[in-house]
Amino acid sequence: MSLISGFLFVAVVFTTSALSGVFGMAGGLVLLWFLLLLFPVATAIAVHGVIQLTANASRAWLSRRFIVWRIVALMTCGVVIAAICLLLVNYTPNAVTVSLLIGLMPILVWMPKTWFHFNAAKTSHALSCGFVAGGLTIAAGLSGPLIDIFFIRTDMDRRQVVATKAMIQVISHGIKIVFYLGAALSLSKGDWTMILLAAPFAMLGTQAGNRILQRLTDANFRTWTRWIVTAIGGFYFIQGVAMAL
């Protein structure tokens, strides 16, 4: 990673962490796209896991009193099962698959709430969410919009949603790093130095985003999330189609 790329990397980490601090997921979408420009797919997903784990950990800590731990525990079981299944089939990611999977995710945020009967407060639903969303996190790098549909019918407010999602994403990204550990270890010392230097900026960005989150109403939070995720997802989908042609 050149010096210019390194400085740009730090700026992107701060900005995307702030975006995730507000909306809980949009920043991760942008960060992964940038990393795919710098590294091979598996390595990009591993680095994305390191940065997102840092950002989500700081977000979870700032909102720790709002975390619903029972849901986190159940979803973690699902993530572990998904990781084992992907290991058994020897899954290897590629740019086209990742782009198309992420590009299709925004469809979920536009579907009528009445179509979904998921509730993360229910044991079986939380386990299912962990399995499906955890599998997608490992396969494509992230799964924010998919996790959201399991929180639609809960009585949780925006702070509980962001805090609980942050904690489960800490765990999901941690498992993702282990899954792609070989790719992560292939990075040079210079790359790892820049990644470690960027980590504090992920926390600073999260703190900045958290301040904005406190000023948003629940209605504005959901509206802005929908449009931002849709715009980013549309870009991913077009990119994926272009790569496949």
Residue 196 has pLDDT above 80, yes or no: yes
Average pLDDT of the chain, as a whole number: 84
CB half-sphere exposure, 244, CA atoms < 13 A = 12
Rg (CA), the chain: 17
Residue among 200, 161, 239, 164 nearest 17 (CA): 200
So what's the pLDDT on residue 217? Answer: 75
pLDDT (average), residues 217-227: 74
Predicted local distance difference test score (pLDDT) of residue 171: 93
Q: What is the pLDDT of residue 81?
A: 96
Can you give the pLDDT at residue 24?
A: 61
Confidence check: pLDDT of 72 > 90? yes
- Would you say residue 55 has pLDDT above 90? no
Q: What percent of the chain has pLDDT over 90?
A: 26
Tell me whether residue 183 is exposed, middle or buried, using C-beta atoms within 10 angstroms of its C-beta: 0 to 12, 13 to 18, 19 or more.
buried
pLDDT score of 202 more than 70: yes
What does the pLDDT read at residue 1?
Answer: 64
Look at residue 25 in the predicted model and tell me its pLDDT.
63
Look at residue 34 and tell me whether its pLDDT is greater than 70.
yes
Residue type, 191: D
22 vs 141: which has the higher pLDDT: 141
Please identify which residue in the block is written with the tokens 């790329």: 5
Structural tokens at position 121 = 């407060």
Please, are residues 71 and 156 in contact by the beta-carbon 8 Å criterion? Answer: no
What pLDDT does 197 receive?
82
The pLDDT score that the predictor gives to residue 207 is 79
Confidence grade of residue 113 (pLDDT, cut at 50, 70, 90): low
Residue 66's nearest CA partner among 168, 159, 166, 155 is: 159
The pLDDT-based confidence of 206 (bands split at 50, 70, 90) is confident
**Mean of pLDDT values over 237-242:** 89
161-187 confidence digits (pLDDT tens): 878 988 998 999 999 999 999 888 888
Domain map (residue ranges) of the chain: 3-244
Residue with tokens 């579907």: 111
Stronger pLDDT, 82 or 62, i.e. the higher one: 82
